[in-house]
Amino acid sequence: MANTLLKVSGLKVAYGGIKAVKGVDLEVREGELISLIGSNGAGKTTTMKAITGSLGFEGGDIEYLGQSIKGRGAWDLVKQGLAMVPEGRGVFTRMTITENLLMGAYIRTDKAGIEADIERMFGIFPRLKERKDQLAGTMSGGEQQMLAMARALMSQPKVLLLDEPSMGLSPIMVDKIFEVVRDVSAQGVTIVLVEQNAQRALQIADRGYVMDSGLITMTGAGKDLLVDPKVREAYLGH
């Protein structure tokens, strides 16, 4: 069995006075593509923020590479290979595409490797190559999402967390984003995907977790959750 890279045990997070996460357990093994689905306000994004060190937690623990990361900051965790593409993308709008990619590699010093990885990103995202000198703020939402993913990959993550990558995108762009997520997973990057589009998320997931009101209510293989009557009724609309 593959190594467990990330283990969340009894995680509790209060957010603005509200108990947003009430005791979550989940684990992510090397090479897996995990989908975390649930309705709005279920606590998915809060869980992701706690994992990546951008939000403190009051109970439970998070272990990454076998060690507790409680109290560790996001900067430190990126250096350890834990990267997140936040909801809303967060690209540097006044920088070019190439400059954004270089920012993604700020923790690295291997100049030749960085240049090679920029070319690799242009291979995965040809549209970025066409516009490499364009300011990120002038791009469409889908193109910014591609850039945000490429920028995170520039840090050479062991685990990549994606928060709502398809939100607000056109159907064609949604197809492209899911295709890229699959390709990146196939290249060996471990992925945790939080996604409103439960059907698409479970179709590509090795395993899925269903979250409701701050708790994990179901877990199983992606293909099993996809046909589960409760999941279909609650999240797939039939």
Two tokens, residue 199: 């059907």
Residues 29 and 74 in one domain: yes
**End-to-end Cα distance, the chain:** 35
Residues 63 and 160 in one domain: yes
Q: Is the pLDDT of residue 1 over 80?
A: no
Give the pLDDT band of residue 88 (cuts 50, 70, 90). Answer: confident
Q: Is the pLDDT of residue 137 over 80?
A: yes
Residues 138 and 27 in one domain: no
pLDDT tens-digit readout, 94-112: 999 999 999 999 989 999 9
Residues 233 and 204 in one domain: yes
Residues 38 and 64 in one domain: yes
**Do β-strands 59-64 and 159-163 pair in parallel, antiparallel, or remain unpaired?**
unpaired
Give the mean pLDDT of 4-11. 96
Residues 128 and 139 in one domain: yes
Q: Is the pLDDT of residue 238 over 80?
A: no
For residue 164, the model assigns a pLDDT of 92
Which residue, of 110, 135, 155, is where some domain finishes? 155
Residues 133 and 32 in one domain: no
- When the pLDDT of each residue in the chain is averaged and rounded to a whole number, the result is 92
For residue 126, the model assigns a pLDDT of 92
Which one is predicted more confidently, 36 or 18?
36
Give the mean pLDDT of 7-26. 92
Q: What angle do CA 68, 73, 78 make, to 5 degrees?
A: 90
Residues 23 and 120 in one domain: no
**Which single residue is written with the structure tokens 């699959």?**
182
Contacts of 27 (CB under 8 A, 6+ apart): 4, 6, 7, 8
**Do β-strands 207-212 and 159-163 pair in parallel, antiparallel, or remain unpaired?**
unpaired
SS3 (DSSP) at 137: helix
Q: Is the pLDDT of residue 92 over 90?
A: yes
For residue 98, the model assigns a pLDDT of 97
Residues 129 and 189 in one domain: no
Report how far Cα 44 is from the mean position of its chain's Cα atoms: 11
Q: Is the pLDDT of residue 17 over 60?
A: yes
Residues 146 and 167 in one domain: no
Residues 2 and 34 in one domain: yes
**Tally of domains in the chain:** 2
Question: What percent of the chain shows pLDDT beyond 90?
Answer: 78
Rounded to whole angstroms, the Cα distance separating 102 from 155 reads: 9
For residue 34, give the CATH number of its domain: 3.40.50.300
pLDDT tens-digit readout, 181-221: 999 999 899 999 999 899 999 999 999 999 999 999 999 99
> Residue 125 is part of which domain span?
88-155
Which residue, of 155, 182, 208, is where some domain finishes? 155
Which residue, of 155, 187, 206, is where some domain finishes? 155
Residues 167 and 51 in one domain: yes
pTM exceeds cut of 0.75: yes
For residue 16, the model assigns a pLDDT of 78
**Do β-strands 18-29 and 4-15 pair in parallel, antiparallel, or remain unpaired?**
antiparallel
Two tokens, residue 169: 């995108």
